[in-house]
Structure 1
Amino acid sequence: MEHSASCRDLSTMRERFDCLTEAYACFLMGTCPSQCVACVIFSGLVPGEVRECAPSENRRVNSAELSYISVTLVEKITSNLTSRSLSPAVTLYCVEMLTVLFQDMDLMSLLMQQFQAEDQIISHLAAKTVSTWVLYQLHKSGTVSPVWQKKCVQAFYISLPGPELDTCLWSLNEVLKQLLKGAHREILGKLLAAFDSSLSTLCSKFLPKERDKTTQCLVDLPSSSSGRWGTTFCLLLDLLELLTACSVICGAGICLESPRMTYVHSSALLMTISCSSEYFVKKRALLLLKRAVLQKAGEDWSLGEVLLTGLKHKHFDADMSVLSQSVLTAMATDWLHSVQVESSSFFGGTRCIRGKEGQKPDCVMLRAVSLLLLKSMELHIQTAGGTAGVDSATEVSGYLQSLWGFLRRCSVQLTENTHRCCWVSLLFGEQDDDMMETAKALFSIFLHHRMCSGLDDFAVLEAACASGCNPHCHFLLLLQSISFDHSILLDFLISIETCFLEYFVRYLKFLRADWQGFTAACGRISSPHFHLSLQQSVTALCAADTLKVTCKGEPDRVKFSSCAQSTGVTSQVGRVSLAAGFHLVEYDSSDESDPENMEVSQDEPAASVCDKSTFSALDVKQEISGPPVPIRQKQYEASDSTGLLSRPNSTLERRAEGPSLLVLQSEQTSGPNMAPQPGQEAWETLARAVICMSELREVVTRLQTNKLFPYNPSSLLKLLAQVENCSKLSHLLHFNK
């Protein structure tokens, strides 16, 4: 009676609008309104109950505005209760009012009717309010709203694109996002169980496993609802990504079909990418598959840190295998030829640039296609376990050639460079996380090819460059892209946004066993047009004079020149460059603490020689944690560089104990206009790379000593020290030839 009385006192829309506005302001300030507004809220959603404002009023209020503020006020109250951000008195008031609205007045049914409203604003606000109420009930009692569940399940079974299905999909997506952010495993399990069957039916209708190749997607047909289909399909793709993230959060505790649907329907998603008439649908489906293969579903909704804590469910390996096989099967049927890549977009839309610049492709699509294929190949290799032989190596090489052909057709910029290893840095240079994933995948592909091809060492590296997967080239190009700045590598090491640590450790294990291949790659990368073979690069490198580094009072600049003799080895190396900008760790201030020991612990000596007679993987197997990279010891022939692998005499061994690779002098013996010696550019690249890794080791050691590094870097430091020892010995052997 009290509610009815307060509602009768406010007879016009304007009066009720002002009442709800005052109540909203009270809730924002954390106080209770002067009267109960439950009846006013309900009446704002029932058409025809309130008369229009008098003409004399300053501003008329229509029924739509009254509905907007009514629904918004309910959503605000419910979300505040869920977050527990209200005082006890206000909380009690809100609970009583929501009890009146949802139990006595059945507000939920009235809100669900708005899902089909022609007014998209009220439809969206209703869906938002319903989702908030569903979350509140799930947190409070662990039960799913029966009215909401019935409405959504009915829409999913019918699967007819339209406002009702769109609103139901959006509402379920919103509930899942909020539950995923809080990692509520038990509640997620109950919610998914309530919708599992209906969601499976919905996906089967939009993404049938078997489809006639002569037809397009099931509902992607020329009709008046084609625009509506695109909206519905993108909402479905969002739902698939959230369900995939649910499978990570729930881990082994989930045995439902719906969280696995992205993998189960991966073939249909690939066909959607190739046959859909809407480019934004193609792109959205491709990005979903990319995140699925990278195990990063949900990252756009700030779920990254939560997903890191998830456990793999029992079907995880099988699902990833299904996805990779679907991609490779599509590749074998020329799927890439049907993938459309439009011109790049900007904030004003899409444009084609003609003239000297040429057309700019959509690099987001190019990166997604590349990563999807490369990660699928990596998964396929891991599943095979390295048991395949030459045929497997040939198959993998064929996939890579198809990818390079696709990139060549779509990007003018990539076709201008003949060295395919450069395509990784050109395509992924603006996306650190994708670039690291690509480098890691290509590294796995290289190791597989090396093991299965049966080729000798130089032939393997030549074939790797021809296929664009030489790990030495990728690492050197990465260093070049960051101007050999060790501080950026440090940022990568302490960041959780990339897989750089995993990639870096694996590569360093490989590098310490293949220093000759690294020096050869330096020669090739330094070649102006990358036309030298690896064998020619090594020959040119060894023909160069010994490198001398000259520092002239500028801490961020190092000059290189050739010299005939060396006077010694100093203990401090110059900094190559410091890129402008801020870094995650301000490590320059840490050297004011206790004196640091910059050497690796003496009771755990690192390998000091790279050749077969003094170095093997078994020497460090007990020192470095994790599975070792398969290592075949190198024996390079028919070049002057064979001296690099000979056993050092006692004099060289004593000299190799010096703490630095390069010779630093204050004077420059060669003139500024002197033409560079053959291989000098290669030695410059090699020197800058070694200095970068040496400075990185020093900084990480200093941070570890001062207990400022976020994890234990002992294994990493051992690897860096071993690589540095290899470089010292290589340099001294070359100097004393």
Structure 2
Amino acid sequence: MRVMFQDMDLMSQLVHQFQSEDQIISHLAAKSVSACVLYYLQTSGTISPVWRRTCLQAFHSSLPGTQLDACLWSLTELLKNLFKGAHQETFGKLLAALDSGLSSLCAKFLPDDSQEVTQCLVGFPSSRPWGTTFCLLLDLLEVLTASSLTWGPAACLRSQRITHTHSSALLATISGSSEYFVKKRAVLLLKRAVFQKAGEDWASGEVLLTELKHEHFRSDMSILARSVLTAVAADWLQAVQVESASFFGGTRAIRRDGGQKPDCVMLRSVSLLLLKSAELHIQTAGGAAGARSSGTEVYGYLQSLWSFLRRCSVQLTEVTHRCCWVSLLFGDQDDDMMEAAKASLSIFLHHRRCSGLDHSAVLEAACASGNNPHCIFLLLLQSISFDHSILLDFLISTETCFLEFLVRYLKYLTADWQGFTAACGKISGSDCHLSSQQSSPASCGGDVLTLTVKGEPRLVQYGSSSESDPEDMEVSQHEQGTSVYVTGTLSAVDVPQGPIRHKQCESSHLLLEADSALKGRPEGLSPPVLHSEQTGVNMTAVSGQVSCETSARAVLCLSQLREVVTRLQAKKLFPYTPSSLLKLLAQVENCPLSHFNKT
């Protein structure tokens, strides 16, 4: 090392190769230099002056080219390694040495004025593919954003806040850039920033978010949310183009009806960016007047989102029940689906508090905007075939926010059972079913959700199938001389199979297998369904009328979930204390009978 980097001055020679027009040579030089700079940083804490000077010059010149690309890639690689190794002090030292250069670079690529952004992109030399340089800059911004979320108060440099402070320019890039991969990469960065998930793809393990945020955190998140909503109000979504989905055979996947499959990654990212920004906006709305105004505004944004999704040919063009869009769009993307459901629930609860509308009008407005929480939850259950073991997967997974969503929704459900039963009737009456189909004409690629709408009511004959392992169900109720029994089996034939988690999570399997072993029950058998005498659940008829099948199956699913969680907790197999959740689940089981007694 001494001979090469002191006597032979190899660093200067390698850095000089950053300018090579041969991109392979330029990139190999960047890899070699990065390894050496990282070594000296970790052993002696010194930064190579030659490398630092070259990077600063490239950042200040801001012209796309192999040298700027090599410098961006090299810095990103160094910061990633230091970040993953938790070398916070060294990370800060390196970034501080280049902070001014990065600020200058972003002022050129991401100016404050959206018109300047377009002029900037058009003005770059056409001989160089600027999109590559821009994506390298976006990769660097994600590392900087991840560091600001992870290290809190220590993240005080301007460059660590660029994603938030220059969010308007990033949005202008998405609507104005001619390079689709640049648009998509920018949307993904903003989505991860607003959800505080920057670095999730490459960080070792999970990105641990500190509870102590840096002093500008709240204002930065507010800037990002406000930038998104301001852009949407100015018809930004109309300028966002969504191309056909990519696949291994090329980029033009043709559907059987002659159309092209839309890029669902782009659609989901734009949707989540808007939903989360709206949620942040209502959380920061000041005063009662501001809260009412924000509630009205947000529903306008949801209408714009609905128009955008329909324009992009998602399988929503013929859907009359807008609440289906969450399940239809997110398919088997469990983490994104739960984030969408949680943000939608927050928006709904805010509008319910501030709108001044009566209960029925609130729910009607929610369905018109596609965010009635009852409908969204029921369609989620329907898409997983009311399988409580999949809900268990969600509960013990650290990859989704399902626990937070479920607890908050159940609190609302126990206070609005009438709205829940109305939603059950609406879904059952329209027979809006979600099923998994391969190569569907309306699919977005792979196994995704397809909407089937039938005009005739659907009656399930529970005893009609023997093609799958049966789960015996016997429910009885004795109320004022009325005695109603429903006995039969549930099978794969009776219920459309949803795409979410067909293969169960390994952790859930381990818990259930351990529980089965302790209980002496053969593995693979579902726990017995509780009878109504044990749970107090009114599963079928009240006053001689059979209640909504969807409602009965939803309550049964939650009852089974409560039973298995209770059993796992008693045997100390559940990963956390679920006392509050179990209490809410028990309250939901009692809701049908309580509602009957009131009526």
Partner amino acid, structure 1, of 2:17 = Q
Say which is worse superposed, 165-174 or 381-390, in terms of deviation. 381-390
Number of matched pairs: 548
1-structure distance, mates of 2:545, 2:232: 41
**Partner SS for 1:301:** coil
1:102 CA drift (Å)? 2.1
1:357 CA drift (Å)? 5.5
Q: What does residue 169 of structure 2 align with?
A: 268
Q: Is 1:585 matched with 2:513?
A: no
CA contact (8 A) 2:18 2:26 kept: yes
Map residues 299-318 of structure 1 onto 2, 5 A cutoff. Answer: 299-303=200-204, 305-309=206-210, 311-318=212-219
Q: What does residue 196 of structure 1 align with?
A: 99
Change (3 A) 1:721 1:409: same
**Partner SS for 1:415:** coil
**TM-score, length-normalised on structure 1?**
0.69
Change (3 A) 1:316 1:455: same
Residue 163 of structure 1, aligned match among 58, 66, 79: 66
CA contact (8 A) 2:244 2:260 kept: yes
Partner amino acid, structure 1, of 2:503 = G
Change (3 A) 1:386 1:368: farther
Partner amino acid, structure 2, of 1:367 = R
**1:320-351 Cα deviation digits (max 9, x unpaired):** 00001111111111111111111222112211
Map residues 233-632 of structure 1 onto 2, 5 A cutoff. Answer: 233-303=134-204, 305-309=206-210, 311-351=212-252, 353=254, 356=257, 358-384=259-285, 387=288, 388=290, 390-528=292-430, 555-557=469-471, 567=483, 580-583=502-505, 584-586=507-509, 587-593=512-518
Change (3 A) 1:247 1:481: same
Partner amino acid, structure 1, of 2:394 = F
Q: Is 1:119 matched with 2:22?
A: yes
**Partner SS for 2:238:** helix
1-structure distance, mates of 2:428, 2:243: 34
**1:22-72 Cα deviation digits (max 9, x unpaired):** xxxxxxxxxxxxxxxxxxxxxxxxxxxxxxxxxxxxxxxxxxxxxxxxxxx
Change (3 A) 1:694 1:162: same
Asked which structure has the greater CA Rg, the reply is 1
**1:250-270 Cα deviation digits (max 9, x unpaired):** 211222100000111111111
**Partner SS for 2:100:** helix
2-structure distance, mates of 1:358, 1:566: 55
Q: What does residue 133 of structure 2 align with?
A: 232
Say which is worse superposed, 479-488 or 115-124, in terms of deviation. 115-124
Change (3 A) 1:285 1:656: same
2-structure distance, mates of 1:500, 1:663: 25
What is the percentage of aligned positions where both structures have the same residue?
65
CA contact (8 A) 2:59 2:104 kept: yes
1:206 CA drift (Å)? 0.6
Partner amino acid, structure 1, of 2:508 = V
Change (3 A) 1:562 1:487: closer
Change (3 A) 1:509 1:245: same
2-structure distance, mates of 1:326, 1:497: 28
Change (3 A) 1:310 1:134: farther
1:195 CA drift (Å)? 1.0
1-structure distance, mates of 2:563, 2:554: 14
CA contact (8 A) 2:275 2:344 kept: yes
**Partner SS for 2:120:** coil
**TM-score, length-normalised on structure 2?**
0.84
1-structure distance, mates of 2:474, 2:304: 41
1:249 CA drift (Å)? 2.2
Residue 78 of structure 2, aligned match among 157, 175, 179: 175
2-structure distance, mates of 1:707, 1:700: 10
**1:428-478 Cα deviation digits (max 9, x unpaired):** 113111111111111111011111111111111111101111001111111
2-structure distance, mates of 1:206, 1:592: 61
**1:637-687 Cα deviation digits (max 9, x unpaired):** xxxxxxxxxxxxxxxxxx9874252569xxxxxxxxxxxxx996x721111
1:576 CA drift (Å)? 7.2
Q: What does residue 700 of structure 1 align with?
A: 565
CA contact (8 A) 2:477 2:485 kept: no
Gaps of 5+ in 1: 1-97, 531-543, 597-654, 665-677
1:354 CA drift (Å)? 5.9
1-structure distance, mates of 2:593, 2:462: 15
Partner amino acid, structure 2, of 1:585 = S
1:559 CA drift (Å)? 7.8
**Partner SS for 2:254:** coil
1-structure distance, mates of 2:211, 2:476: 55
**Partner SS for 1:350:** coil
Map residues 101-140 of structure 1 onto 2, 5 A cutoff. Answer: 101-140=4-43
CA contact (8 A) 2:473 2:488 kept: no
Partner amino acid, structure 2, of 1:593 = L
Q: Is 1:659 matched with 2:581?
A: no
Say which is worse superposed, 348-357 or 98-107, in terms of deviation. 348-357
Say which is worse superposed, 146-155 or 387-396, in terms of deviation. 387-396
Gaps of 5+ in 2: 433-456, 522-530
1:550 CA drift (Å)? 6.5
**Partner SS for 2:37:** helix
1:143 CA drift (Å)? 2.4
CA contact (8 A) 1:102 1:108 kept: yes
CA contact (8 A) 1:179 1:188 kept: yes
